[in-house]
Structure 1
Amino acid sequence: MALDTHREELAATATALARPGSGLLAADESTGTIGKRFAAIGVENSEEHRRAYRTLLATAPGLGEWISGVILYEETLFQDAADGGSILDLFKAQGLVPGIKVDQGLEPLAGGLPGETWCTGLKGLQERAARYYARGARFAKWRAVLRITADDCPSELAVRENAWGLARYARTVQEEGLVPIVEPEILMDGDHDIETTAAVQEWVLRLVYEALAINGVFLEGSLLKPSMTLPGAECLQRPTPEQAAEFTLRTLQRCVPAAVPAILFLSGGLSEEEASVYLNAIHQAVGVAPWHLGFSYGRALQQSCLKHWAGHDVVSGQQALLARARANGQSARGVYVAGSEPSDGKSLFEANYSY
């Protein structure tokens, strides 16, 4: 079977991405989403500006000390830097493992409750994965999205459909040599409490790993990218970092097999500083865990970077990026001192977030 020929490589890639004290830079924003980010800083969404910004990320000096891999959008994977070399090679020169977003976005789920979605992109995935591997990508990402609402979301249909889609994707890309990041994101939208989130997340993760098993996914060559276990953004009872850590670890310990090399949390609308503080609390609470507990942050690594770059100041942008990379690298060891690195401080929550 095709997967068997890649098992050793898949395990080695997953281990490299699970390096202690590190995480991933999620730089896989679509052209439309990066346009929204640029609009906020007064920069035109042109290919030249996208090239310049992603070259800034790839050449931030010493980034590889805290970042083990980078998730790219297809444009960036095949894009040349201003000097003529590929942006991919610039990231690789820093020691980062390159990865690629392979899902093709969300669509309304027929038969689901209002607002429920399923993730598209399985058609043609085998061929695209082979092309991405040939280009140099070594892992992939697929984002399924679920929401908690007062009218019984998520439905069983939505949970099962998204779990199956994640499993089909994971098996498909493994057969082409790519480590799958399995991302069943539960949006922060809503006013539900942390106990509700925990119950839903346990349900979701149990069904995800059941589907992965049915599809024969090689767990040692896969990674999980979950939400932290937090209440809805509108819930008035806000947990302390210690409480959030306790619920998050309980959720994972109940549901995630020890064979999975790493759990890389998404920031999900937390501010830059919150994302670091919560991850730090998880490490301080965990003791010995069977998995590496890291991060895979997009906005929580780039918000300050974008603002300081503003289309022209590469050095300031890179300094801001490195500050948050350091903060999160320290958090991934449980040694971050809150406020010791500069941050934007702004809430990054966006209702019904998509990219």
Structure 2
Amino acid sequence: MGEVERSNAGRDERFLGICPRTAYFGLQRQWPRRTFPMNLADLNKVALAMVTPGKGILAADESSGTIKKRFDAIQVDSTEDNRRDYREMLFRSQEAMSKYISGVILYDETIWQNAKDGTPLVKLIEQAGAIPGIKVDEGTQALPNCPGELVTVGLDKLAERLKKYYDRGARFAKWRAVIDIGSGV
């Protein structure tokens, strides 16, 4: 189907077919357009470090359910201690971490965990020369009245969570969005 412009409560919204591809969820900008709430020099430093030639980003942001499937396959109980020990083992692989990893995407559970010796896991990542990051979306859910369409969850209270994650050591974030491209597009 082609694009159709429709008016909604005095404001134009863009539609493809019957489901909105962009939606206004009652959210407003937190900062004025010309104010930068972050240090752009720090942002640039992190971005350049993450794309260091020969290095990549380790996706260690498996949800508890996903890591349980991995542990089930090797007959290991998916307890918080076992998950922590597994992640600690990865992050303490000093040679591999420092040589090949520029950043690590963490799951909410992981960013709050400490190694057995009490060291925060984010500190292990930093000590290996990598940048800790965090997955901030909270999964997806069905978009009402739009069969087959999904919307990403987690915008509410995102600013609060980002502050807490930053204070814990995260310096970048991952946000996943589902974009369904059908045969008519």
TM-score, normalization by structure 2 = 0.76
- 2: distance between equivalents of 1:29 and 1:57? 13
Unmatched runs of 5 consecutive residues or more in structure 1: 153-199, 201-355
Deviations along 1:219-278, one digit per CA (max 9) or x if unpaired, are xxxxxxxxxxxxxxxxxxxxxxxxxxxxxxxxxxxxxxxxxxxxxxxxxxxxxxxxxxxx
- 2: distance between equivalents of 1:145 and 1:8? 31
- 1: distance between equivalents of 2:70 and 2:36? 38
What is the match of residue 103 of structure 2?
Answer: 69
What is the match of residue 120 of structure 1?
Answer: 153
User: Which protein shows a greater Rg?
Assistant: 2
Q: CA deviation at 1:3?
A: 2.5
Q: CA deviation at 1:147?
A: 4.0
What is the match of residue 173 of structure 2?
Answer: 140
What is the match of residue 39 of structure 1?
Answer: 72
- 1: distance between equivalents of 2:143 and 2:181? 15
- 2: distance between equivalents of 1:43 and 1:148? 38
Structure whose residues are more often strand by fraction: 2
Q: Which amino acid aligns with 1:71?
A: I
Structure 2 CA distance for partners of 1:17 and 1:110, relative to 1, 3 Å? same
Q: CA deviation at 1:11?
A: 1.4
Match of 2:164 among 131, 135, 141: 131
- 1: distance between equivalents of 2:82 and 2:93? 17
Residues 1:89 and 2:89 aligned together: no
- 1: distance between equivalents of 2:56 and 2:181? 27
Q: Which amino acid aligns with 1:107?
A: Q
**Percentage identity across paired residues of the two chains:** 47
- 1: distance between equivalents of 2:78 and 2:38? 41
Partner of 2:132, secondary structure, is strand
Q: Which amino acid aligns with 2:143?
A: L
What is the match of residue 47 of structure 2?
Answer: 14
Question: How many residues are aligned here?
Answer: 151
Q: CA deviation at 1:61?
A: 2.7
- 1: distance between equivalents of 2:106 and 2:38? 25
- 2: distance between equivalents of 1:60 and 1:12? 24
Partner of 2:177, secondary structure, is strand
Partner of 1:51, secondary structure, is helix
What is the match of residue 84 of structure 2?
Answer: 51
- 1: distance between equivalents of 2:182 and 2:109? 35
Partner of 2:164, secondary structure, is helix
- 2: distance between equivalents of 1:15 and 1:149? 35
Deviations along 1:13-45, one digit per CA (max 9) or x if unpaired, are 111111111110000011111111111111111
Matches for 1:312-351 after TM superposition, within 5 Å: none
Matches for 1:196-345 after TM superposition, within 5 Å: none
Partner of 2:77, secondary structure, is coil
Q: Which amino acid aligns with 1:47?
A: E
Q: CA deviation at 1:149?
A: 5.1
- 1: distance between equivalents of 2:138 and 2:38? 27
Deviations along 1:317-338, one digit per CA (max 9) or x if unpaired, are xxxxxxxxxxxxxxxxxxxxxx
Q: CA deviation at 1:64?
A: 1.9
Structure whose residues are more often helix by fraction: 1
Structure 2 CA distance for partners of 1:83 and 1:4, relative to 1, 3 Å? closer
Relative contact order (alpha carbons < 8 A, sep ≥ 6): 1 or 2 greater? 1
- 2: distance between equivalents of 1:6 and 1:43? 43
Match of 1:111 among 125, 145, 152: 145
Q: Which amino acid aligns with 2:100?
A: W
Partner of 2:94, secondary structure, is coil
